[in-house]
Amino acid sequence: MGRGARETVLGTLGKATLLQIPPELQNLTLRFGAAVWKRDTEDPQRKLVLLKYSDGNYTNYMQGRTRFHTVNFSLEILNTSREDRQLHEYIVSKGPEEKVWQIQLEVYEPVSDPSIQVLSWALANGSCAVTLNCTAERGDNVSYSWEGWDTSTSGLCSHNGSLLHLSYPLQNASIACACTASNPVSRRVITFNSSKCSYEQGGDLFPLL
DSSP assignment letter at 154: H
Give pLDDT tens digits for 87-96.
999 999 998 9
The DSSP result for 81-140, as a single string, is -GGG-SEEEEEEEETTEEEEEEEEEEEEPPPPPPEEEEEEEEEETTEEEEEEEEE-SS-S
C-alpha neighbours within 13 Å on the C-beta side of residue 162: 15
CATH number for domain 5-108, candidates 2.40.50.100, 3.40.50.300, 3.40.960.10, 2.60.40.10: 2.60.40.10
Element (H, E) at 179: strand 175-183
Q: If you classify domain 115-200 with CATH, what class do you get? A: mainly beta
Closest to 108 in 3D by CA, of 136, 146, 134: 136
Chain mean pLDDT for the chain: 89
Confidence class of residue 128 from pLDDT cuts 50, 70 and 90?
confident
Task: Report yes or no: 158 and 177 within 8 Å, Cβ to Cβ.
Answer: no
Who's near 92: CB < 8 A, 6+ residues apart? 25, 28, 29, 32, 34, 35, 98, 99, 100
For the chain, percent of residues with pLDDT exceeding 90 = 72
Residue 200 has pLDDT above 90, yes or no: no
Residues 1-8, mean pLDDT to the nearest whole number = 64
72/11 Cα distance (integer angstroms): 20
Residue span(s) of the chain under CATH 2.60.40.10 come to 5-108, 115-200
Confidence class of residue 153 from pLDDT cuts 50, 70 and 90?
low
